[in-house]
Amino acid sequence: MPKVVRFHETGGPEVLKFEEVPLQEPGNGEVRLRVQAIGLNRAESMFYHGRYVYPPKLPAGLGYEAAGRVEAVGPDVDKSWIGKQVSTIPAFTLNEYTMVGETAVAPVAAIAEYPANLSPAEGAAIWMQYITAYGALVPIAAVTKGDFVVIPAASSSVGLAAIEIVKTEGGITIATTRSSDKKEQLTKLGADYVIATDEEDYVARVGEITKGKGARVTFDPVAGPFVEKLAAAAQPGGIIFLYGALSGQPTPFPLLTALSNGLSLRGYTLMAVTRVPEKLAPAKKYVYDRLADGRFRPKIAKTFPFAQTVDAYRYLESNTQVGKVVVTVP
């Protein structure tokens, strides 16, 4: 009887409980993993708090990303998958599949081998962040040499992936974080400029950095009232991606700024890539190739053993980490 983490009511990490469940057999189009590592994401925290883009169907499980070995496949799935080391791509809802457990069933379309130079912990810390950033910054925004790109909440795993992608494409990164505590780390991790938004005048600093040009692309998971400042610092004709709602506050639409400067504000999630096979294939190749040759390297903030999964989610909610929080499974 494998253990999983589930919750029967919404709330903070205290609602998460370990439960034993019958071993699930994969059905058509599915595989079962013996899980070795699990990458945690803010989406899951919002899910058990009841603040996510869709409500949980209780009792509910958790987890978009796991790395492990395929130990069983559904009747119609190629048996050559058995024994392979893979990780899961977020291409499903948390009401359909969950990964936080000693074993997990996933759709075969949502698994991928990861480069052999990565550990299982690193393998569980790649697809959510890199595909999220890739889908917005490369095929849509087409970031190129000389583009100024603002990356709010840059110490998150997606923020760090965005820094790597923008640098790879020749752009100039302006990372933001609330306080100066993380400035040095973000600079070491490749950010060209870092703005502490609680301590500095964001609009003025972007103006100084870009010499009055403004940011062509803004890649924001926070939303809320600060969007008005993001718009004020954007380049005419610029695009602001809103891919999260971490602020938990209403998000005003900066109508007059958008009108006068021809701005685009675009809602976006990685599901726009991962659930469309013809978009997912080039995204996987882009990420895999750059992980394999060392241009990309996921940053692990801290690992926790499976027995401390609840503590791992508490740490995730602390906002003190730089990079990915990962749970390892014995």
Which tokens hold the place of 326? 């990962």
User: In the chain, what are the domain boundaries?
Assistant: 3-126+298-328, 133-270
* CATH architecture, range 3-126+298-328: Alpha-Beta Complex (3.90)
104 forms bridges with which residues in the sheet?
A: 33
Cis peptide before 236 (omega within 30 of 0): no
- Alpha carbons 165 and 110: distance in angstroms, whole number: 22
Class in CATH terms, 133-270 = alpha beta
Q: How far is the C-alpha of 269 from the C-alpha of 184, rounded, in Å?
A: 29
Strands (E), 201-254: 215-220, 234-242
Burial 60-72 (b: 16+ CB within 10 A, else e): bbbbbbbbbebeb
Distance CA 102, CA 5 (A): 9
Q: pLDDT tens for the chain, 330 residues: list them.
A: 999 999 999 999 999 999 999 999 999 999 999 999 999 999 999 999 999 989 999 999 999 999 999 999 999 999 999 999 999 999 999 999 999 999 999 999 999 999 999 999 999 999 999 999 999 999 999 999 999 999 999 999 999 999 999 999 999 999 999 989 999 999 999 999 999 999 999 999 999 999 999 999 999 999 999 999 999 999 999 999 999 988 989 999 999 999 999 999 999 999 999 999 999 999 999 999 999 999 999 999 999 999 999 999 999 999 889 999 999 999
Burial class (CB in 10 A: 0-12, 13-18, 19+), 140: middle
Q: How far is residue 327's CA from residue 38's CA, in Å, rounded to a whole number?
A: 5
Residue type, 105: V
Handedness of CA 313, 187, 148, 231 (dihedral sign): positive
The reply to whether 133-270 shares the fold of 3-126+298-328 is no
> Global pTM?
0.93
